Structure 1
Amino acid sequence: MKAWVLHDTDDIRYEDVDMPRLRDGEVLVKVMAAGICGSDIPRIYKTGAHSMPLIPGHEFAGRVIAVDNGSNSDYCNSAGDDGTWLNKRVGIFPLIPCRQCVACRKGMYEMCRNYSYLGSRCNGGFAEYAAVPAANLIELPDNVSYQDAAMLEPSAVACHAIRRVLSGNVEAADDVSIAVCGLGTIGMLIVMLLKSRGYDNIFVIGNKSSQKAMTANLDIPEDNFYDIREGISSGCDAAEWLMEKTDGSGVDVFFECVGKNETVNWAVNSAACGGSICFVGNPYSDMNFDKQTYWKILRNQLHVTGTWNSSFTGDDDDDWHYVLKSIGSGSIMPSKLITHRFRINELESGLKIMRDKSEDYIKIMSVMN
């Protein structure tokens, strides 16, 4: 088969490789769509993967074409009336938990201490075929496309973040004010999910005109978009802007999806008394609070939480099943965020767009049909 193989840092090649050999409990998936995650770019071009050579890619979906004898797992949802995964259309949870550590014994697989991971610790989806544990599959209904399914992973990550600070069923409260800072794929999906549940008092913080246009398509008013570039030139930072927009009270919930010291400080400085902050973005550098900012965490009794990955337990209300039902019902449409599509042999073009930021993009995807 053909695959993109990362041989070393900044050395990725499209080449012939052996078909995967299935181990106990694995299935062979014909990859039909694979998204590029922002984390793939430093992994490929700067830091390398945990082990190399490696096939990257952890946001993918496809069809099961071969099944190991031990693959009829009931860890996830039902595989269909015949009890097997063969020929099923599937989405794929990329984290492979050990199921032995303290977190796994509590069903918190996303926090497994000894996990493997498709596309970063073992071979992933930037290939024609991938070996996947049957326990990591979720069956797709007929009305969910492969491209939408390849966005189940970032959608579930966004859902997980929302559930960290809002009600478990993510239902709207009329008087809740929310800020989303950082409008890449995860930030946009947070906005999309919030809107699908009826949250209307949403302020968004971005740095591209394309982001402004996309949030407008998600029914965010123009006046609720803060352009970081314009703010710098005008001398009004995002925290000051949010305080003006909320008549000095601040926002009830702040999703920080950038991971920079400046934006983390904006979150603290614009949160309402008793408000909640969810740190979503992977850090670019060390985080530092000055004394006055730290005082605000104490004096405003802020609820500060982190979020990591997503819940995939097989329960009907885990993050993956929630977003799959939301996509199936049409309440969210993640594929609207796909700005670029490439055939598998052209995938490097997408990687370089993201590496060099040569074009505006939100989600870049490899499609097989």
Structure 2
Amino acid sequence: MKAWILHNPNNMTYEETEKPQPKSDEVLVAVKAAGICGSDIPRAFVTGAHVHPIIIGHEFSGQVCACGTDVDAKWQGKPVGIFPLIPCGTCGPCQKKQYQMCRNYNYLGSRCDGGFAEYVAVPEKNLLELPEGVTYEQAAMLEPMAVSVHAMRKGMALAGDISKSRVAIWGLGTIGLLLTMFLKDAGVKDLYVIGNKDAQKLHVGELGIPEENFCDSRKEDAAAWLMKRTDGVGVDLFFECVGKNETVQHAVELSAPGGSIVFVGNPYSDMTLPKAVYWKILRNELRVSGTWNSSFTGSEDDDWHYVVRALAEGRVHPEKLITHRLPMEQLMQGLTIMRDKTEDYVKIMGVNE
């Protein structure tokens, strides 16, 4: 088969390699679509992965074309989405079915071979059958959508009914835009979003955000903008989707007394917290939560099933955020666009035809 193989940082080539043979508890998935995640960029060009050589890519979907000896034959020929985290099954979080917090996990596309290929071997337990009408491109966005839903549900757990709450999102990359989409779907009406690209304004407009509820932080003081629109009080629920010191501090400063904060953005560097900001957490009795990955337990109430239902019912349309579609053999073009930021993009998708 053909696959993009990362030999070392900044050394990834599209080449012939051996087609994987599924183990007894695995299936072989013919990859139909694979999205590039922001985390794939440093992995491909700077830091490398946990092992080399490796096929990266963890946002993908496809069709089951072979089953291991212990796999239920029902999977043969099924269109599937794939949860990329492979839990150990024995640690404390795994015993509670909190697989996203597994202490000793494997991971498709960063610790073992992933989806930038024609075929991938995937554990049966990591499969999610796609309902009729859900496309492979939509399914290749299940992972970032589930991450967004996981963050949203964290916010709901902290803040309760958010349909009447003032909610803010700072950071409109893929996760921030998908979070915007799901919050609108959940009935949030008073939603303020802060970004730093012209294209982001267009995307949030398509998601139903009025122009006056979008702030371009390059052009105005976003903190002052948000406080003005919340009558100097701040928001009830704040999603920080950037991962920088300044936006973490703004999340605290712009939250209303008794408000809630969900930290979503992966950190760019070490975090420091000034004394005055810490005091605001205490004195305003803020509820603060981190969020990581998404819940996939196989039950109907996990994040992935939430997303699939929303797709099947036509409530959300993540494909609107696909800005580039490339044949798999041209995927390096997409990786380079994201590395060099030569074009506006949200989700760049590689497809096997």
Distance 1:248 1:129, change over 3 A: same
**Are 2:219 and 1:230 aligned?**
yes
Shift of 1:249: 1.0
Which secondary structure state, in structure 2, belongs to the residue aligned with residue 219 of structure 1? coil
Which secondary structure state, in structure 2, belongs to the residue aligned with residue 166 of structure 1? helix
Distance 1:172 1:222, change over 3 A: farther
Letter aligned with residue 117 of structure 1:
Y
Which of 286, 289, 300 pairs up with 1:302?
A: 286
* TM-score when normalising by structure 2: 0.98
Per-residue Cα deviation, 1:83-111 (whole angstroms, up to 9, x for no partner): 52100000000000000000000110010
Counterparts of 2:281 and 2:152 in 1: how far apart (Å)?
Answer: 20
Which secondary structure state, in structure 2, belongs to the residue aligned with residue 229 of structure 1? coil
Letter aligned with residue 255 of structure 2:
A
Letter aligned with residue 158 of structure 1:
S
Counterparts of 2:126 and 2:160 in 1: how far apart (Å)?
Answer: 28
1:66 paired residue number: 66
Shift of 1:129: 0.5
For structure 1, which runs of at least 5 residues remain unmatched after alignment? 73-82
1:325 paired residue number: 309
Contact preservation (8 Å) 2:5, 2:13: yes
Per-residue Cα deviation, 1:131-189 (whole angstroms, up to 9, x for no partner): 00011000001200000000000000000001112149x99544301111111111011
* TM-score when normalising by structure 1: 0.94
Per-residue Cα deviation, 1:248-284 (whole angstroms, up to 9, x for no partner): 1100111111101111111011001111111101100
**Are 2:174 and 1:185 aligned?**
yes
Contact preservation (8 Å) 2:223, 2:254: yes
Letter aligned with residue 198 of structure 1:
G
For structure 2, which runs of at least 5 residues remain unmatched after alignment? none
Contact preservation (8 Å) 1:171, 1:198: no
Contact preservation (8 Å) 2:33, 2:136: yes
1:85 paired residue number: 75
**Are 2:97 and 1:107 aligned?**
yes
CA RMSD of aligned residues (A): 1.3
Per-residue Cα deviation, 1:36-61 (whole angstroms, up to 9, x for no partner): 00000011111010000000000000
1:80 paired residue number: none
Which secondary structure state, in structure 1, belongs to the residue aligned with residue 76 of structure 2? coil
1:335 paired residue number: 319
Counterparts of 1:341 and 1:184 in 2: how far apart (Å)?
Answer: 18
Which secondary structure state, in structure 2, belongs to the residue aligned with residue 156 of structure 1? helix
1:347 paired residue number: 331
Q: State the percentage of identical aligned residues.
A: 58
1:175 paired residue number: 164
2:6 paired residue number: 6
Which of 234, 242, 260 pairs up with 2:226?
A: 242
Which secondary structure state, in structure 2, belongs to the residue aligned with residue 47 of structure 1? coil
Which secondary structure state, in structure 2, belongs to the residue aligned with residue 113 of structure 1? coil
2:20 paired residue number: 20
Counterparts of 1:172 and 1:222 in 2: how far apart (Å)?
Answer: 25
